[in-house]
C-alpha cells in the first residue's frame, strides 16, 4: 500500500481501541520477569556457554603480540576468538570501526578477543589472562583543540552539512538585537539498563542470534555483511529489548563475537558487554561545540539565525547534526547552518535519542532565552512571535503538515502557571532555595519509513500480527495490537502480537521516533488487505463491509471472523510505503517544556521541583504509553542538563567515568511530578494513522528548560553542559 | 595439594561446632581443590519457597545462581556492580543487590525473587499496580523495582528511617520518602513518577 | 574474579588465625565493596573467610555511657537503632546519605570503614595507579580528578575516601576494636585507623595481617544538633563531592568532620576551634594544606558553602 495522498476518513478514526490509554499487553510478562531478554534464552539455547570480551587497553595503535597460552590453559576455557583466527571479516556499513579489532586498534576498549568458557566465572577470569603487547600510536582526543581542523562532512541522514537561505551575514550585521554565543555539550552514554547481549547458535551454516537489537532487518544485513554469508542464513530474534535509545540500532560486538565464538566452539555462546566496557566499547552521543547567532528586531522578531556545530568522530564517522532544528523551528529570512567534523580517536560516536535535536536544542533554546531577555519579551511570547507555519528555508510553498507549537506554548504555560514567573532572575526564594522557571520549545522531525506486517485470523477468531518491529519500551506491542483490533473490529484481548523476529515481515524498526507511526501504518496496510480477503470470502463488497464485534457486516447480514477464517485461518501481508508528502510538506512534532528548579543558595545544588509540557505529535495512539515515553525523555533531558557527561582523558584517549557509579543519570529522587498534555492533532499527511513520533520529542528542549530555569532562579547563565555545582560556583564567584 | 587446604582443615578440626552448623564448610573441605579452578561447594537455598540444592563455584554471585543455575531470569543483570539495582531480590526479608553477594554466603537462607511474588495468572498487588500505572517501559529494571518497592513499603512500616526522613523517629509515608528509598533502582526509561504512583496504589495510599 | 577457596568462620579467634595463616586471605562480610573489586581483579584474594556468622551484630551500651557497635551490624540496622537515632543522630544521617537501601542492608560497620576509593583510575586496571599497583604511577593527578581528594594527598595518590559513615565515626571520635591473629584485642582510635597515602597509598588502614575488626565503640554522646550534609551530583545514590558532619552545641561551639575531600575521613581540631567564627573561618582551618587540581579546586569553595548552609540552618532553628 502506498501513502501518497493525505488520509481521508478511515477505520482508525473510529477510535474504539486506538487512542485509548490501554495497559500494555506485555505488562504481565514484564512485571513477573517472564519476558525473555537476549541473555536469558535457556529455552532456545539450553547448552550455551559463556563469552567474555577482552577490550583494547590503548586507544590507537597496533597489537604487536598476543599470548593466549595462559588463558587457553585456564579451567573451563573452550576457545578464544581473535583477529588471527576469526577468518576474513567484513565491516558493517553502519559500523565506523570494526567490531573485532586487531592488529589495528581503533579505539579504547575495542574488542580484541572473546574468551569462551563453560561458565561465566571461568570466562571472566580467563579473559584476564590474555596477554597483549601493543604498539601505541598518537591519537587525537580533544574536540576543542582539534575543532579548527574540522572539515565539511557529507550529508548525514539527509541533513546537508551546510544550509543557507537569504543573506545571513548581512541580516545579522544590521539586526537591532544580536545574540552571539558558544555552547558546549559533552559526550553522552545511552546507559540503557540491559547491556548489549546476544546468544548465538549455529545450525549447520544457519545462524540464529537472540539479541537485543532495535532494527532487525538492518541487523540481519550487517551480520551477513560482516561474516560474509547470505542474509537468508541469518535469523535475528529480539522480542524484548531492555532499552535502546539508539545504542542498539546497529550490530555490535556482543552479536558478532557470540556468532564467531559459537562457530569456533561448536555450540551456542552467549555474550553480554560488561557494563564498565559499554561506554568505550560501544557508541555514544558525540560532544559538540556550538555557536549560535540570532539577529532580531527590538521586539524579538528574528531576521537572521545561524547555527554552527563542531563534533568529532573516528575516521569515516559522521557529525552530530545539532543544527538541524534551527533550519525549521523559527522564522527569519536570513539563515545558515553548518556542521564541521573533526577526526578524533575516541570510541565511535553515533545516534542517541533524538540525535541532533537533543543537544542542538540545549543550545538554541538557551539562545532564545537570552534573546527574550535582551528584547525584554516574555520567553513564551518570544517563541510565539517567531512561529512560522512553513519551512522557513523553502518558503510558503512548503507548508507544515501540521504545526501546533503556539498551542503547545499557550496551553503548557497555562497549565504550568507560567504567569507566576518573575522575569527578573533571582527574585524568588523558598527557604534555602532560589526558585526559577524556564521554558523551551520542543521540536523533533517526523520521519516515516516503509514498514510491513502479516496479519491473520485463526479459527477461534483471534487476530495474530507478526512484524519484525521491536518494542524497546516504547509500547509497540500494545499500539500494534490496538491498531489490529481497531481495523478488524475485535477487542484488544483478542489480538496476539509477535515482534522482533527476522522471520516476520520487515518493519521500520525502532529509531528516530519513526517506529510507532510507521509500524502501525504497516499493520494498517496488512489489515486492509486482510479485510478485503475476509469481505471477499463473505461475499460482501470490500469497501462497504463493516468490522465490528468480531463480525464482518454488510447491510443487515453478518458473519463471524472465526467462521470466515476457517480451520486454516486467513492471512494477509502488506507494507506501507510513502510517496512525497514529506517532501511537499514539512513534517515535525512540537511541544513546549516548562520547568521549575530550586538552586541552593549556598551550595548551588539544583533540584528540579516540577516539570510540565504540552506536545503535539499527531494522533496519540496510546496516551498512557505515549505519556511514559515523554516523561522518560524529559528525565533524560534533566540528566543532560544537570549531570550526564562522559569525561575524556585526552592523554589516554578514553572515557574515564565508564560505569554507572561514575556516569550519573537521574534517579528517583531527582525526578518530581511531571505533567504531560497532548494537544489534539491529527496529521493526515503523515500516515493513515494520522500519528507522528513522540518517543524523542520529550527530550528535545527539556534540558534547555532546566537551564533557563536555573538562570531565572539565580541569574547565572551557563553554556557549558552539564550545569554542575562546580561550574555554578565558579560562575557565581566570577 | 595447597597449604590453604590443609590450613582450613586444621581450622575445621579446631571447631567442631562450626562443622556441624555449617555443612558448606565441612563439605568444601572434603572436596579437593582443582588446579587453578575453584572447587565446587554445595549450597542450599530456599528460593520462592522451594528448596534447592546446588553445587557451585564459590565465585558464583547470587544473581548468576538465580539466572544461570536456577534459570530464574526475572532477576536482571544491569551492571553487576551494585550501581543500578536491576538485580534486587529479597533475602531473609530484606532487599539486597544479588550481584554483590556470593551464593555460598547465603547457604540455608530464603530468597524471594520476582517470580516468587506473583505470576502472570496470579499477580502480586504491586505487580498489578505497576501495570495499571505504566510503571515501566522496557521492562528490564522492572523486577528489581518491584522487589524494591515491596520491601520499601515494609521498611516504612517498620519505621526504618531514610535520608528523606525529617525527624529520625517519625517515619511517615510520602512521595519524597518513596523517591529517596527507590533511588537505588535506576530506570533509564525513567518511569519514575509512575512507579511512585504504583507504590502509593499498592500501599493503599491516595495516588498523588 | 580469581579463583579462591571459601570458608565460613564461626569464631573471631579462628577467623583471625585463619586469615593470618593463609597468604592472600581476606575477610568477607557484606561484600558490597570487596566483590565489586574482585570482579575487576582489583582485589584478588586467594581465600575468603566469611565472617557473617560471628555474632558480631549487636549494639550495646558501654559501662561509661558509650555505645559498642558490632562490626557486622548492617548499615540499615545501625542507622535505625534507637539509641543511635537519639544520641548519635549524625551517624544515622551519614549512613542514610550513603549508597542505596539495598546496599545498606548488606554493608557492615566494619566493612564500611575499609571501603576503598572510587577513583576511576583505581577502577580501570589498565590505567596507572599507585594504590592498586605500587609504583605504576598516578593516572588521576594529570587526568580527571573532579571527585578526588584535596587533603591528605601525596605525590603518589590523590584518591578520596568514599565513606559517609566513617566521616561521622571520625566526628564522634570512635574507636575501632580489633582482634589480632594472636588473639590479642586492641583498640585503635579512628584518627589513627586510616592511613594517609604518603609513598604507600596501597596501605590504607592500621590493621595488621589477620587482624579483624570486632566492633566500633563510640564514646559518650555529644549533645547538640547533629547534622550531616552531603553534596553530590544527583539527589541520591551518589558519592559525595563534599560532605560535612557536624554537631552544633548550644554554646555556639561545634565540631566538624568532612567527607569527599580527604584521603581519609577528615577532621582537624583547629576547625572546631574556629566554630564560633563562622563558616569561613571553619573552612579555612579545615582546608589548611589543601592541594587541589584544576578539576577539584571547586571543593574548597564547596566546603565553605556547605558549612555556610549548615550555619544558616542552625540559625533558622535557633
The residues facing A165 across adjacent strands are A335
CATH number at residue B155: 1.10.150.120
Which residue in the set A75, A242, A274 is minimally distant from B140, CB to CB?
A242
Per-residue pLDDT reduced to its tens digit, B163-177: 999 999 999 999 999
| In a domain? residue B187 | yes
Positive or negative, the CA dihedral C76, C80, C81, C85 is positive
| C18: helix, strand or coil | helix
User: B149 and B133 in one domain?
Assistant: yes
Q: Name the closest residue on chain A to residue C303, using Cα atoms.
A: A603
Name the DSSP class of A401.
S
Do residue B64 and residue A120 have CB atoms under 8 angstroms apart?
yes
Per-residue confidence (pLDDT) for residue B14, from 0 to 100: 31
* Strand-pair category, A334-343 with A302-313: parallel
Instruction: Provide DSSP, C25-67.
Output: EEEESS-TTHHHHHHTTSS--SEEEE-TTSS---EEE-TTS-E
| CATH number for position B81 | 3.10.20.30
Chain A: nearest CA to C317, how far in angstroms? 12
As a whole number of angstroms, the distance between CA A310 and CA A146 comes to 10
Select the residue from A187, A603, A659 to test the C interface by mutation, using most C Cβ atoms within 10 A: A603
Q: Determine the pLDDT at residue A22.
A: 98
Q: By three-state DSSP, how is residue B110 classified?
A: strand
Same domain for B81 and B62, yes or no, is yes
Q: Are residues B112 and B129 in the same domain?
A: no
Which of C17, C31, C96 is closest, CB to CB, to B105? Answer: C31
Return all residues near A456 (Cβ < 8 A) that are at least 6 apart: A463, A464, A530, A565, A569, A570, A571, A572
Name A276's Cβ contacts closer than 8 Å, sequence gap at least 6. Answer: A658, A659, B81, C40, C123, C124
Residue of C nearest to A643 (CA): C233
Question: Does residue B188 fall inside a structural domain?
Answer: yes
Determine the residue among B120, B138, B147 to mutate to test chain A binding: the one whose Cβ has the most chain A Cβ atoms within 10 Å.
B138
Q: What is the pLDDT of residue B35?
A: 40
Q: Determine the 3-state secondary structure of C22 from DSSP.
A: coil
Domain boundary among B117, B137, B156: B117
B115 touches chain A (CB under 8 A): yes
For residue B29, list chain C residues with Cβ-Cβ distance below 8 A. Answer: 7
Nearest CA in chain B to A660: B83
Range of the domain at B88: 41-117
pLDDT tens digits for range A386-441 = 999 999 999 999 999 999 999 999 999 999 999 999 999 999 999 999 999 999 99
Rounded to whole angstroms, how far apart are CA atoms C271 and C255? 7
Asked if C79 has any chain B CB less than 8 Å from its own CB, the reply is yes
- Of B117, B133, B168, the one marking the end of a domain is B117
With a pLDDT cut of 90, the percent of chain C lying above it is 99
pLDDT at C307: 98
User: Helix/strand/coil (H, E, C) string of A92-157?
Assistant: CCCCCCCCCCCCEECCCCCEEEEEEECCHHHHHHHHCCCEEEEEECCCCCCHHHHHHHCECCCCEC
The answer to whether position B87 is within a domain reads yes
DSSP B66: I
Dihedral angle at the C-alpha atoms of A453, A459, A460, A466, nearest 10 degrees?
A: -10
Specify whether B150 is located in the same domain as B110: no
**How many Å apart are CA A298 and CA B153, to the nearest integer?**
57
Cis omega (within 30 of 0) for bond into A240: no
- Active site (annotated) includes residue A696: yes
Residue A340 DSSP code: E
Residues of chain C where predicted confidence (pLDDT) is lower than 50:
none
Residues B85, B107: one domain?
yes
Residues in chain B predicted with pLDDT less than 70, given as ranges, are: 1-37, 206-208
- Regarding whether B143 and B111 lie in a shared domain, the answer is no
Q: Which residues of chain A are modeled with pLDDT < 50? A: none
CA A399 – CA A388 distance, rounded (Å): 9
Are residues A304 and A292 in contact, defined by beta-carbon separation less than 8 angstroms?
no
Name which of C1, C144, C306 is nearest A124 (Cβ-Cβ). Answer: C1
- B140 and B157 part of one domain: yes
User: Does B86 map to a domain?
Assistant: yes
The β-bridge partners of A465 are: A455, A497
Question: In terms of domains, do B136 and B198 share one?
Answer: yes
Q: Is residue B26 part of a domain?
A: no
Q: How far is Cα of residue A48 from the mean position of the Cα atoms in its chain?
A: 31
Give the number of A-B residue pairs with CB atoms closer than 8 Å: 206
B1 within domain boundaries? no
Of chain C residues 18-47, which have a CB less than 8 A from chain B? 18, 21-22, 28, 30-32, 35-36, 39, 46-47
The three three-digit cell numbers of residue B94, written as one number: 530484606
CB pairs < 8 Å spanning B and C: 149
Whether B98 and B153 map to the same domain: the answer is: no
List, in sequence order, every residue forming a beta bridge with A599; answer none if it has no partner.
A434, A606
Report the relative pairing of strands C5-8 and C25-28 from DSSP bridges: unpaired
Neighbours of chain C (3+ CB pairs under 8 A): A, B
Quick one: pLDDT at residue C111?
A: 98
The residue among B90, B117, B144 that closes a domain is: B117
Q: What's the total number of domains in chain B?
A: 2
Q: Is the CB of residue C200 less than 8 Å away from at least one CB of chain A?
A: no
Residues of A in contact with C118 (CB under 8 A): 661-662
Quick check: B100 contacting A, CB < 8 Å? no
The pLDDT value recorded for residue B37 is: 59
Q: Which residue of B has its CA nearest to A478?
A: B137
Residues B52 and B103 in one domain: yes
Q: In the structure grid, which three cell numbers stand for residue A489, read together?
A: 473490529
C274 close contact with B: CB closer than 8 A: no
For residues B102 and B143, state if they share a domain: no
* Closest Cβ opposite residue A75 in set B36, B67, B132: B36
- B107 and B139, same structural domain? no
3-state secondary structure of A615: strand
Please tell me the distance from the alpha carbon of residue A650 to that of residue A641, in angstroms, as a whole number. 23
Q: Is residue B25 part of a domain?
A: no
Q: Are A478 and A456 in contact (CB under 8 A)?
A: no
pLDDT digits 0-9 by tens, B4-30: 333 333 333 333 333 333 333 333 333
- The answer to whether residue B19 sits within a structural domain is no
CB under 8 A, 24+ apart: contacts of A415-419: A415/A612, A415/A614, A415/A675, A415/A677, A416/A594, A416/A596, A416/A610, A416/A612, A416/A675, A418/A380, A418/A594
Amino acid at each position: 500500500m502506498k501513502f501518497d495522498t493525505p488520509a481521508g476518513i478511515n477505520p482508525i478514526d473510529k477510535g474504539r481501541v486506538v487512542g485509548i490509554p490501554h495497559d500494555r499487553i506485555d505488562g504481565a510478562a514484564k512485571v513477573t520477569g517472564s519476558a525473555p531478554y537476549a541473555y536469558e534464552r535457556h529455552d532456545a539455547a539450553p547448552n550455551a556457554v559463556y563469552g567474555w570480551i577482552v577490550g583494547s587497553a590503548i586507544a590507537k595503535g597496533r597489537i604487536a603480540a598476543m599470548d593466549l597460552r595462559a588463558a587457553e590453559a585456564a579451567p573451563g576455557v573452550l576457545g578464544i576468538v581473535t583477529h588471527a583466527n576469526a577468518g576474513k571479516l567484513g565491516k558493517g556499513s553502519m559500523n565506523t570501526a570494526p567490531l573485532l579489532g586487531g592488529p589495528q586498534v581503533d579505539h579504547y576498549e575495542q574488542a580484541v578477543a572473546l574468551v569462551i568458557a563453560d561458565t561465566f566465572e571461568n570466562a571472566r577470569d580467563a579473559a584476564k589472562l590474555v596477554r597483549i603487547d601493543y604498539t601505541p600510536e598518537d591519537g587525537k582526543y580533544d574536540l576543542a583543540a582539534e575543532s579548527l581542523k574540522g572539515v565539511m562532512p557529507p550529508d548525514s541522514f539527509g541533513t546537508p552539512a551546510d544550509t543557507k537561505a537569504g543573506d545571513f551575514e548581512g541580516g545579522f550585521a544590521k539586526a537591532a538585537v544580536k545574540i552571539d554565543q558558544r555552547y558546549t555539550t559533552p559526550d553522552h552514554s545511552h546507559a540503557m539498563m540491559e547491556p548489549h547481549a546476544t546468544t548465538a547458535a549455529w545450525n549447520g551454516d544457519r545462524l540464529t542470534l537472540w539479541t537485543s537489537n532495535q532494527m532487525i532487518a538492518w541487523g540481519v544485513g550487517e551480520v551477513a555483511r560482516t561474516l560474509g554469508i547470505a542474509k537468508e542464513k541469518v535469523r535475528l530474534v529480539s522480542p524484548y529489548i531492555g532499552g535502546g535509545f539508539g545504542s542498539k540500532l546497529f550490530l555490535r560486538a556482543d552479536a558478532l563475537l557470540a556468532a564467531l565464538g559459537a562457530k569456533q566452539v561448536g555450540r551456542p555462546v552467549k555474550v553480554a558487554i560488561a557494563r564498565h566496557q559499554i561506554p568505550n566499547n560501544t557508541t555514544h552521543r558525540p560532544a559538540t561545540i556550538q555557536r549560535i547567532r540570532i539577529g532580531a528586531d527590538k521586539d524579538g522578531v528574528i531576521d537572521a539565525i545561524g547555527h554552527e556545530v563542531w563534533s568529532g568522530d573516528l575516521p569515516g564517522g559522521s557529525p552530530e547534526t545539532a543544527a538541524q532544528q534551527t533550519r525549521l523551528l523559527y522564522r527569519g529570512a536570513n539563515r545558515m547552518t553548518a556542521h564541521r567534523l573533526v577526526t578524533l580517536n575516541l570510541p565511535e560516536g553515533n545516534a542517541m535519542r533524538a540525535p541532533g535535536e537533543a543537544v542542538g536544542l540545549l543550545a538554541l533554546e538557551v539562545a532564545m532565552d537570552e534573546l527574550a531577555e535582551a528584547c525584554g519579551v516574555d520567553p513564551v511570547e518570544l517563541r510565539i512571535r517567531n512561529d512560522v507555519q512553513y519551512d522557513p528555508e523553502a518558503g510558503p510553498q512548503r507548508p507544515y503538515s501540521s504545526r501546533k507549537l503556539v498551542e503547545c506554548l499557550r496551553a503548557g504555560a497555562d497549565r504550568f502557571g507560567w504567569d507566576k514567573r518573575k522575569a527578573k532572575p533571582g527574585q524568588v526564594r523558598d527557604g534555602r532555595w532560589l526558585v526559577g522557571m524556564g521554558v523551551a520549545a520542543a521540536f523533533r522531525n517526523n520521519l516515516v519509513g516503509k514498514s510491513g506486517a502479516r496479519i491473520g485470523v485463526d479459527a477461534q477468531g483471534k487476530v495474530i500480527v507478526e512484524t519484525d518491529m521491536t518494542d524497546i519500551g516504547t509500547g509497540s506491542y500494545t499500539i500494534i495490537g490496538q491498531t489490529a483490533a481497531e481495523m478488524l473490529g475485535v477487542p484488544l484481548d483478542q489480538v496476539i502480537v509477535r515482534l522482533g523476529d527476522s522471520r516476520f515481515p520487515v518493519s521500520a524498526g525502532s529509531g528516530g521516533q519513526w517506529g510507532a507511526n510507521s509500524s502501525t501504518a504497516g499493520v494498517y496496510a496488512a489489515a486492509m488487505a486482510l479485510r478485503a480477503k475476509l469481505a471477499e470470502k463473505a461475499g460482501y463488497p470490500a469497501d462497504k463491509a463493516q468490522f465490528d464485534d468480531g463480525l464482518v457486516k454488510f447491510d443487515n447480514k453478518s458473519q463471524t471472523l472465526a467462521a470466515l477464517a476457517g480451520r486454516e485461518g486467513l492471512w494477509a501481508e502488506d507494507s506501507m510505503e510513502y510517496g512525497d508528502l514529506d517532501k511537499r510538506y514539512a513534517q515535525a512534532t512540537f511541544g513546549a517544556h516548562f520547568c521549575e528548579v530550586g538552586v541552593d543558595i549556598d551550595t548551588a545544588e539544583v533540584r528540579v521541583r516540577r516539570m510540565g509540557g504540552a506536545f503535539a505529535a499527531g494522533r496519540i495512539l496510546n496516551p498512557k504509553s505515549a505519556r511514559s515515553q515523554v516523561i522518560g525523555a524529559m528525565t533524560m533531558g534533566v540528566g543532560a542538563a544537570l549531570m550526564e557527561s562522559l569525561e575524556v582523558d585526552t592523554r589516554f584517549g578514553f572515557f574515564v567515568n565508564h560505569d554507572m557509579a561514575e556516569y550519573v543519570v537521574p534517579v528517583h529522587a531527582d525526578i518530581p511530578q511531571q505533567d504531560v498534555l497532548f494537544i489534539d492533532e491529527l496529521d493526515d499527511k503523515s500516515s493513515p494513522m494520522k500519528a507522528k513520533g513522540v518517543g524523542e520529542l520529550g527530550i528535545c528542549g527539556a534540558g534547555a528548560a532546566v537551564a533557563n530555569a536555573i538562570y531565572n532562579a539565580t541569574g547565572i547563565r551557563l553554556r557549558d553542559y552539564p550545569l554542575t555545582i562546580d561550574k555554578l560556583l565558579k560562575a557565581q564567584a566570577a | 595439594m595447597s597449604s590453604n587446604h590443609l590450613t582450613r582443615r586444621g581450622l575445621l578440626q579446631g571447631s567442631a561446632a562450626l562443622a556441624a552448623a555449617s555443612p558448606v564448610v565441612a563439605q568444601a573441605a572434603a572436596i579437593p581443590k582443582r588446579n587453578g579452578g575453584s572447587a565446587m561447594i554445595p549450597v542450599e537455598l530456599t528460593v520462592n519457597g522451594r528448596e534447592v540444592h546446588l553445587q557451585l563455584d564459590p565465585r558464583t554471585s547470587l544473581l548468576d545462581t538465580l539466572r544461570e543455575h536456577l534459570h530464574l531470569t526475572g532477576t536482571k543483570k544491569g551492571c553487576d556492580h551494585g550501581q543500578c539495582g536491576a538485580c534486587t531480590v529479597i533475602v531473609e526479608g530484606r532487599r539486597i543487590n544479588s550481584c554483590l553477594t556470593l551464593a555460598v554466603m547465603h547457604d540455608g537462607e530464603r530468597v524471594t525473587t520476582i517470580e516468587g511474588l506473583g505470576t502472570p495468572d496470579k499477580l502480586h498487588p504491586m505487580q498489578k499496580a505497576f501495570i495499571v500505572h505504566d510503571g515501566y517501559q522496557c521492562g528490564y529494571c522492572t523486577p528489581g523495582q518491584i522487589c524494591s518497592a515491596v520491601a520499601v513499603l515494609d521498611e516504612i512500616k517498620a519505621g526504618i528511617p531514610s535520608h528523606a526522613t525529617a525527624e529520625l523517629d517519625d517515619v511517615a509515608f510520602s512521595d519524597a520518602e518513596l523517591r529517596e528509598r527507590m533511588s537505588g533502582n535506576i530506570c533509564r526509561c525513567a518511569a519514575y513518577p509512575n512507579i511512585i504512583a504504583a507504590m502509593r496504589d499498592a500501599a493503599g495510599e491516595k495516588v498523588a | 574474579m580469581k579463583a579462591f577457596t571459601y570458608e565460613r568462620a564461626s569464631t573471631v579467634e579462628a577467623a583471625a588465625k585463619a586469615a593470618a595463616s593463609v597468604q592472600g586471605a581476606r575477610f568477607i562480610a557484606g561484600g558490597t565493596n570487596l566483590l565489586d573489586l574482585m570482579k575487576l581483579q582489583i582485589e584478588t584474594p586467594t581465600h575468603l573467610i566469611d565472617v557473617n556468622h560471628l555474632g558480631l551484630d549487636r549494639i550495646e551500651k558501654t559501662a561509661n555511657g558509650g555505645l559498642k557497635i558490632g562490626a557486622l551490624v548492617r548499615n540499615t540496622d545501625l542507622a535505625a537503632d534507637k539509641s543511635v537515632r537519639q544520641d548519635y543522630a549524625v551517624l544515622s544521617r551519614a549512613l542514610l546519605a550513603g549508597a542505596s537501601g539495598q546496599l545498606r542492608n548488606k554493608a557492615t560497620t566494619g566493612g564500611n570503614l575499609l571501603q576503598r576509593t572510587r577513583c576511576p583510575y583505581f577502577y580501570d586496571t589498565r590505567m596507572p595507579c599507585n594504590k592498586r599497583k605500587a609504583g605504576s604511577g598516578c593516572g588521576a593527578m594529570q587526568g580527571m580528578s573532579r571527585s578526588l581528594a584535596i587533603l591528605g594527598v601525596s605525590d603518589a595518590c590523590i584518591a578520596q575516601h568514599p565513606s559517609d559513615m566513617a566521616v561521622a565515626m571520625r566526628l564522634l571520635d570512635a574507636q575501632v576494636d580489633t582482634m589480632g591473629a594472636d588473639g590479642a584485642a586492641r583498640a585503635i582510635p579512628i584518627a589513627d585507623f586510616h592511613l594517609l597515602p604518603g609513598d604507600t597509598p596501597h596501605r590504607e588502614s592500621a590493621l595488621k595481617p589477620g587482624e579483624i575488626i570486632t566492633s566500633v565503640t563510640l564514646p559518650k554522646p555529644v549533645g547538640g544538633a547533629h547534622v550531616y550534609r552531603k553534596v553530590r551530583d544527583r539527589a541520591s545514590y551518589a558519592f559525595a563531592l563534599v560532605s560535612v558532619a557536624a554537631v552544633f552545641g548550644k554554646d555556639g561551639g561545634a565540631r566538624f568532620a568532612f567527607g569527599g575531600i580527604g584521603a581519609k575521613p577528615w577532621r582537624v581540631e583547629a576547625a572546631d576551634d574556629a566554630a564560633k567564627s563562622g563558616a569561613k573561618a571553619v573552612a579555612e582551618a579545615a582546608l589548611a594544606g589543601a592541594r587541589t587540581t584544576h578539576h577539584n579546586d571547586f571543593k574548597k569553595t564547596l566546603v565553605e558553602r556547605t558549612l555556610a548552609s549548615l550555619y544558616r540552618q542552625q540559625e533558622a532553628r535557633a
